[in-house]
Each structure stands twice: as C-alpha cells, then as structure tokens.
Amino acid sequence: RSLALGGALQAAGMRKGDRVATLMWNHYAHLEAYFGIPCAGGVLHTLNLRLHPDDIGYIADHAGDRFLIVDDVLLPLYEKFRDKIKFERVIVVPLCGKPAAGYDDYEQFISSAAVMQAPQLDENDAAGMCYTSGTTGRPKGVVYSHRALSLHSMACAMGDTLGIRQSDTLCPVVPMFHVNAWGLPFTGAMVGCKLVLPGPHLDAVSLLDLYETEQVTFTAGVPTIWMGILQALEKEPARWRLMRNMRMVVGGAAAPESMIRAFDRFNLDVLHAWGMTETTPLGTTAHLKHVLNDLPADERYAYRVKQGVPAPFVEVRAMTDEGCAQWDGTTMGELQVRGPWIAAAYYKLDAEADKWTDDGWFRTGDVATIDAEGYVKITDRTKDLIKSGGEWISSLDLENALVGHPAVQEAAVIGVAHPKWDERPLAVIVCKPGAAATAQELREYLAPKFAKFWLPDDCAFVEAIARTSTGKMMKAALREQFRDWRWK
C-alpha cells in the first residue's frame, strides 16, 4: 500500500523533493505515508494537529506543501486553515468508514494502479520534515535526510539505546506528527517487528486495553501520558495483564523519579530519554551502566532519572562562558550536541543560524551538567518556552499579548510544575497604577489569539518584577518564587 501511495502521488504530479503534508493521528495510513512519500522521492511533512490553525497554515505554506493527506476526523481543523494555503490535492483517509464528500478519497487514490517509479536518490536528499516551536515568532522547520533517518533507525535498534528487536510489539504513543513518533515507525519497520498504532484513542484506559490485547512489549510517550497510565493502574492494579517488563520510553520532558519508582513496582521498565525535533530526536538514554548496577537503590535511581548518556555518534558538551564544562556532574552549561542526525540548519530561516556554533555544534537551549560517567542531567532551559503535555507554549508571545490589556503594566509568564501536564503557564502580572484585572478576565482577553492549552491556568498579581541590569525579567527568580504554586 505504501508503494501504491507513492505511485499515485507520482501520477498526481509529485516530483522529487516535493513536500506532501500529513494531518493525521497514529494509524496504518500514516505509516503508509511514512514510507510511500519518501520512497517515491517526496518529502513527508507531518503537521502538528495540536497547533493553532493559523500556525498550521503558516507552516504548510512556508514548507511549500503541494499535497495534503488528512484524516476525515480532522477535516474540521483543516477547514480552519484552508484559506491560508492552497494544496493541489487534498486526500482524505476515511477513518469513519465512508469517503468524505467533496474530497479525494484515500482508498480510491491509492487504487489508481499507477506503478511507483523508484527515483534516483542521494542519501543526503530530504525524506521528511517537521516544524518545532520558536521562543518568539514563527515555528522552525527541520529537514531529515534519508541518511539521518537510516542511521538514526540503526542507532535506535541498538541494545543500549532503545534496543528494538524483531520480536518486539512496538506501540508509539508519541504522535507521528512529533519528530516522526521519535523515529519508531522507521526503526520498527527496519527490524521487522509488529507495530501497534493507537489512533486518536490516547486515554489511559484505552491504551492499557490495547497494551493487553496486543501484548505490547515496547511503548513510548511524554510523561503526561504515563502519569495517566499510572493513576489508572493504581486504581485497578489487577485489571490488566500487561507484558512483564514492558519497556516504556519517557521523553519530551523530564521523567520524575517517583514515576520511575512507581512503574518498577508494576514490573514496567521506564527508560528515560532526551531528544529534540532538531536531533531526529534520539540524543541520550538513561540505561544504568554495568559498573553502576551494584550501587544502592537510591543511587541507581539518581542515575536513571538523569537524561542519560549520548547515543553512539552523538557528541555532547555543556558550554559555560569560560568554555567547555568539566564532566563533574555539578558544573552547569548550555547543552550542545553534534552528530550525523543532528540538524545543521532550519529550513529557509537564516536568522536562526546562530543556533549553531562555527564548529558545527547545535545549541539546544537546555542547561545541563554532565557527570564522570557521561550522564547528562538537564537542570534548566535558556529558551523562554513552557512545555505542557509535550507541547510548547511561548511565554514571550503570551507576555506580548498580555501587556496589550489596558490594566496590565508588566507580565511575565513562567512554567510551573503541574501534576498532570508536567508544566503549566502561570502569568505574573503587575497592574497599572489604579487598575485591576482578574485571572479570568485576562484569560478571556487572550482566548481569541491562542490555542486553548496556551492560556495561563492562573495569574499571580505582584507589585513589581525584578529585572537584570540589562533590563531582562529575572525569570529564574520568578520560577523559584512560584515553584510551589498551588493550582486550583
């Protein structure tokens, strides 16, 4: 079916290097697109369906997408940005069972009987692309070459990274629109294991049912998903018969130690990993090294909760103002990475070239220590972004909007720990003299401009926000001050 899709796209006019957008959940047709588009010479461009429709439209337009493959259940979302970009063909996957009127039907499209012509491809040709959020301004596109995806797949299969084998049953919960579901569909297909794709059903009970029915051995997602799963398991510990030692990769945000310990009690094996859209994404994994196996339990957890050691071919360093930090586990610096699947630039965005050093290291915007065993531990972030349930929120965009409110003099938006979403935005507000506003009013003021999950959950009203000598708001101090904010 992938070859049929590739052939049909070629027959529809897709040429080598043309971008084909997908707006889809994790399912069979998306997997077909993962292979059909790049094998036919096209570039698979996965659109993030959780973004504001204006951003999705911008991204598709910036990438120059010619075609769109979209789930029928996501057509209402497409309708919201269709005036921003004119696709030549919109091909609709009939998840609800019948073709959507007025559009090309996916099943009919791939039954065109056009035979795919294998194009001459260089390993450095583009195979896919994915946009990531910026601190300010527009999202940034990352292009993945055939080479990067192939090497990344091989590295992910290695025992000391993700260790994916033919005998696994692999269930990527991380969306296929987030860095190619962390490359798992590619790795899974490469090793030939069974893939289980959960579609839009991402609530804890549906996932646990699926894990049980399909006897899943390996799954992956952001902490928010695992917190839900844990709650469901703790509520009904005997309900599901899961595979013993099912491996669960937690990434996209820090895995709390309490969560790793709790899953251990259910004989479920959490593996903490770190990566980014720009790193395809595998960067580090926190397996316990052989030499650390005999440490007392608390010390072993202290390693497992770190982001881990770099994958083969990935170099890491923590850079301070004085240069490269010692690997002493205490000196913090900006985490920089280099390697064969680390992006070298953003797509058509020269203004961001300073994210790479002259000698080719990518500045991640994360702050980290590296210890003597090579374990990276993320301690902070220099980028002014908040990550909620695996999705980015730009604090600067919210601040700029908030100061437009007639009662607001100054606004700082910070991420504060949240038991379900990992982080949620809290707006710290200084009102103009004599003026007042409520959290509800400010949320309503922001609502038309942003996706709902961007809206700050609460506001803290203060007299003043401390600034540095260069006039920057002291966000780190605010994060410390409001660290124990009690969400209502």
The residues of the shown chain that bind ligand AMP, judged by CB under 6 A, are 132, 179, 251-254, 272-277, 281, 307, 364-366, 378, 381, 387, 392
Nearer to ligand AMP, 10 or 336 (CB): 336
CB proximity list for 296: less than 8 A, separation 6 or greater: none
Nearer to ligand AMP, 326 or 379 (CB): 379
Give the three-state DSSP class for 91.
strand
List, by residue number, the catalytic residues: 132, 278, 387, 392
Give dist(CA 53, CA 300) in Å, integer: 44
> Rounded to the nearest whole angstrom, what is the least distance from the CB of residue 183 to ligand AMP in the complex?
12
Residue 385: which of 133, 187, 147 has the closest Cα?
A: 133
Nearer to ligand AMP, 256 or 456 (CB): 256
Nearer to ligand AMP, 177 or 211 (CB): 177
Beta strands in 333-399 (DSSP E): 333-338, 362-370, 376-381, 385-388, 391-394
CB proximity list for 339: less than 8 A, separation 6 or greater: 279, 310, 311, 313, 314, 315
Nearer to ligand AMP, 273 or 455 (CB): 273
Give dist(CA 426, CA 399) in Å, integer: 11
- Count the Cβ atoms, other than its own, within 10 Å of residue 264: 15
Give dist(CA 251, CA 307) in Å, integer: 9
- Count the Cβ atoms, other than its own, within 10 Å of residue 61: 13
> Rounded to the nearest whole angstrom, what is the least distance from the CB of residue 488 to ligand AMP in the complex?
26
DSSP H or E segment with residue 106: helix 106-110
Residue 37: which of 186, 198, 225 has the closest Cα?
A: 186
Nearer to ligand AMP, 41 or 308 (CB): 308
Give dist(CA 339, CA 361) in Å, integer: 8
Calculate Rg over the CA atoms of the chain.
23
